[in-house]
Copies of this chain bind each other. A is one copy, B any other.
Amino acid sequence: MTSARPKAVCVDHDWVGRSDCSRCAVLHIVPFAPLPLTDLEEFLGPVTNFQLARGARLLGPESHANAVITLRSGFVKLFETAPSGRERIVRLLGPGDVVGLEALHAPPYLHAAESLTPVDACHLPIPVVHAIEARMPELHASMLARWHRSLEQADRFLVELLDGPAPTRVARLLLMLVELAGDSAPPRLTRLDTASAVDIAPETASRVLTRFIGDGILVEERDSFRIDREALRTIARS
């Protein structure tokens, strides 16, 4: 209480926005954990919270892969540059997701990560994760689930987003984005990001989207968008 060292963010009940910790992919278990608080403090001290603007780089293959990042709010794209030089988006992450999972097994990070919206996130050094894992086996299962989800999403990109004509792909992407967002507002991607997610030319993305807008199926806002779910689902089915 009178300690000079500041409280670990995760444990500080006075911390503004602590409520979002319930979404923390790694530590959502902690509040219910049977560990004495003082122990937790020691573990969680190195965990730091930070915010980023849209378009910021979270990490890349060049960074030291010694931490994972959990998203409290905001959206992130994981991408690689293909041999052709084109940028290819391979995954999309949202609130509650973990960025840089691979680091948990071995460096380097497999992709680059950039924010698609303003982002609120926490930085967890790998040793912290392992320390918690050692004491709380539940975390292990939770991490396995993360790997599972990552694979599932990679496969969805392969099977859903890269299948069929351009309008179909874009429709599926939009649906995927609102699904990812849950109750929060889905992020509006640039035409270029849209294009590199579904592997079409930016110009084609533009044409498809302006057509959707013209048909009243899609409404774009500054940073988000709204859709006619049913109409898009029909297009997505083709």
Contacts and interface: CB of A to CB of B under 8 A. Distances in A.
Most B CB contacts (10 A, CB to CB) among A111, A147, A238 go to A147
B236 A151 contact: no
Contact of A80 (B84, B159, B199): B159
A144 interface: yes
Copies of this chain in the oligomer:
2
A158 B154 contact: yes
Contact of A105 (B86, B147, B238): B147
Interface stretch (A14-22, A27-35, A160-168): A160-168
A163 B88 CA distance: 9
Contacts of A150: 151
Interface in A112-157: 144-145, 147-148, 150-152, 154-155, 157
Interface in A29-64: none
A104 B163 CA distance: 29
A115 to B, nearest CB: 20
A106 interface: yes
A155 B84 contact: no
A90 interface: yes
Contacts of A90: 155, 158-159
Interface of A: 80, 82-84, 86, 88, 90, 102, 104-106, 110-111, 144-145, 147-148, 150-152, 154-155, 157-160, 162-164, 168, 172, 199, 236-238
14 contacts: A80-B159, A82-B159, A83-B163, A83-B164, A86-B163, A90-B155, A90-B158, A90-B159, A102-B151, A105-B147, A110-B155, A154-B154, A158-B162, A162-B162
